[in-house]
Every structure is written in structure tokens, then in C-alpha cells.
Structure 1
Amino acid sequence: MNQDKSFFTVFIVLSALLLLFLVLPLLNMILNPGNIQNAIFDSEVINSLLISLKAAGTATVIALYIGVPISYLLSRYHFFGKNVVEAIIDIPMAIPHAVIGIMILAFYYGTSIGRGFESIGFKIVDNFWGIVTVMLYVGLPYMVNSARDGFLMVDEELENVSRTLGASRAKTFFKISLPLIKNNIVSGSILTFARGISEVGAILVIAYFPKTAPVLILDRFNQYGLTASKPISVIMIILSILLFSVFRLVRYKQK
């Protein structure tokens, strides 16, 4: 009995230390935001926040459309090289941020495919679509893995019954399988959006302009120090908390 008590005590203490480690810097920023009023009325700050939100939202929608199909295939079929495909999908989570930017830039300018995109007017350097490209690259693993885990939890017998009743594979997917993983889709969207909106290193390589909020924060810090960068950081923190609170509320209501 004493051993059990000691076990839980140790775990509670460690959990409390973890929470303090996460919360104390956050509380310090919110309680000591600096001159946040100036930041709120700074047009450059507002524009950078809007660009971040728009780009992350766009990347999330694209990730949803191109990530869910491969998630379904990975959950339903076994094929040669499947482990390699899953490893490739996870690669963006393991590569340093700046390296991702250099990879994308090298592909864009160093291959015929990349030059083909440029020839038809799709530009990424110092361009909004460059930011979206980076956010999509770093966010896709979260969407794919979340949706795949959802499909794995769906009983295949439900799909088989639907097919025996005359429904096509496509109709079964959209009417049976996809609605059952809506919580996973929401979770994947939240994680993809969060990963995108927080990206800095790869975006600095690809598109310093137009500035996203994290790039502007780093820029202000390098030029003027902590005093200038802290108010924008606080706005970013508050905005992120509000957005994710809404996302999780939506997810909770869907249960």
C-alpha cells in the first residue's frame, strides 16, 4: 500500500513539474505583454497575422483533400513498400526546418518539374503560395496519420455490408467510412493548421516576404530585441489559444 502511494506521489510530482514547465513561461508572457496596444494598431502586425491564418487555412484544406485518400489506402490495403510509403510521409517531422526550405527551393529551381511550374506562373519565392507550399509540406504527416488511425478504427464489416446492399465503393466511403472518422479529421486539421502557422525556418528560406507573424516576430527580435517582439508574440499566443479552443469545441460537439 505504501509502495502504491509512493508510486502515485512520484507521478503526481513529475506531472506537476511538467505542467509548470509548460504554463509558467506562457503565463509570464500573458501577464507581462509589453506595449501590446501599439502592436494591435500596427498594420504590419495585422497583415502578418492575416497572412499566417490565410496560408495555414489554405494548406490545411489542401492537406485534407490530398491526405485523406492515401490515409484510406494505407489503412485498408497491404502492399509491397507500404512501410516505405509510411516512412516517406513522416519524413517532414524528422528534417530540420531550414533544410525543408532548402529542399523545396532546390527542387523548384533545380528540376524540370520545378521550372515547369515557374513557366506557367506558379511562383513560390517571396510569394504567398510559397508559404502555403511550406506549410503543406510540414503539415501533411499530421493529417495523413490522424485520418489513417481513424480509418483503422472503422470496422471493415460496415463497409462490406454497405457494398453487399448495392452501394458503390465511393458511396460507401463518403456515406459510411468518412463520417465515422470526423473527429480524426478535425484533430488532423487542428494539428496541420498548428504546424503550419508556427513554421519559421523553412518559410525564411522560401518566402521572407510577405511576412508571416512568426517571421515578423523573429525580424523584430533581431532588429529591436525582446521589447519589440514580445507584444506580437502575446497576440499570437492569444489568437492561437482562441482558435484552438474553437476547434476543440467543434470537435467536442461532434462527439
Structure 2
Amino acid sequence: MKKLFSIIPFLGLVTLLFTSCGSDLNDNNANGKSQVGFYLTDAPIVKGYKAVNIDVKSISFSTDSTNWVNLPIAGKVVEITKFANGKDSLLSNIVLDAGVKVTQIRLLLGINNTIVLNDGTVKPLIVPSGYTSGLKLNVQSVPSLTSGYKVLIDFDAARSIVARGNGSYSLKPVIRSYIQANTSFIDGYLSPAKEAVRVFTINTAGDTISTVSDTLKNNYFRVSGLFSANYKIQGQKINTGEIVTIKDNVSVIGGTDIHLSTAEQPLLVP
């Protein structure tokens, strides 16, 4: 995992085109084949925007960084903020030889990208020309795979939108993609319940993944796609910008999820 997994293609967008949510993959390994699902997920937006609409033209994948295959997806505009804190949307299912891993994803964006402000105003979202020419996203992976798996495209919309001084908005992608196999998530509930917090998981290598707690769901948060490591859980208070430590030295072992608190007994944000 690279710090903030930024830049890589404007990824997520692509993913919508959903057909179902969180469907389990069928394991066809007995026939020497495995089903691979591509899913979109997002970190929630807290303030300033009601929606982020991304114009996805196509998405392709590679298993060897040389040959590329297009997913059977029709281009469309995707509202990506609907998928956060553990929610995801199925993009497409494919079948590969057992053990073969998707290593890269390439996105092709159109020009019809917009954001909707809190007052309902729709603004164009300016995408640098490079992001419309087919950008590559490296897929974080586990050492080996023997069965079907999910490829998650994880887009942080709130951190990817840049408000310019002239009243326009542009896109600076903060995204990552990973294979969800033997990965974990950390979740929990925070107090005060009505004060949203941007939650960060930071491992010993300094790699950072974030989400925003959902005040409509008892201030619930979930950070997914974590590999085995010790993590510090920090929070940035949305209202003040203050950064605090919520929990230190949380040990994660691949495949085991960590529940830090419940709605009845939430973690107190200092």
C-alpha cells in the first residue's frame, strides 16, 4: 500500500454500473477456474457536496501488465458517493484461471463530470486531460490466491475534489484498488454521535487509509482492505480540523475483522 494511494486513475468512478450489491463469488476452482468480481466503494463526503457524478467510458484490466481486456460494461455517469463505510456495488464478474491475479486496472473517463453542492447547484468537475486518456491503477494483492476473489476500487471523493478560488472545481484523484482476499476491516462507533470524524488507519510503514464516520448511523465508521499489520487509529474532527488519536496499536491479521466498539458502547473521541 502506498501512502494515500493518490493519483492513480480516477478510479472508482468507473465502477458503478451496478447490478447487485455485495454478492458472493462462486468458487469454480474445482474446474480450474475462479470467478472474479469487480466492485466500487467510496469514502463518504461530509460537507460541501451532495453528489459527485463521474463520466465513465470504459474500464479494462490486466493480469500481466502487458495484455488488456475490457470489462463488459456500457459507459455511463456514476454517482459514487452512495457507496461508503462497507457498502459496495458490483461492476462485473469475469472468470479467470485459478490462481491468476488482476494486477492493474485502466480507466477511461469522459467529460461529463459534475458535483452537486449542498444548495443544489450543479458545477462542472474539471478533469485534467490525462485522466481522460486511460490511466492505470495498480491493484494491491495478497501473495497467492486459490479461489474466487473481489477486486475493490476504493475512491475517496471528498479528498479528490479541489475547490478553486474562481468558483470552479477540479479533480485530484485519491484512490486505491486491492484484492479482497485475506484482508480485514476495522469498524466501530464514535462518541459524540452527532460529530462526524475523518478516521485514519496508519500502519508502521506510514501507509494511510481513511473514511468518514456516518452520523446518520450512530457515527459508524469502517475502514476496509487492511493487510496484516499494527495500526494506529486517528481521527480528524470535521468541525475544527483537530487531529487526535482514537486507538493505538490495533493488531490486524489477514482475514480477521476488528470491531472496536458498539453503538451502545462507542469509542470516545478525545
For Structure 1 versus Structure 2, the TM-score category normalised by the shorter chain is under 0.3
- Which structure shows the bigger proportion of residues in helix conformation? 1
- Which structure shows the bigger proportion of residues in strand conformation? 2
TM-score (norm 2): 0.22
Larger Rg: 1
TM-score (norm 1): 0.23
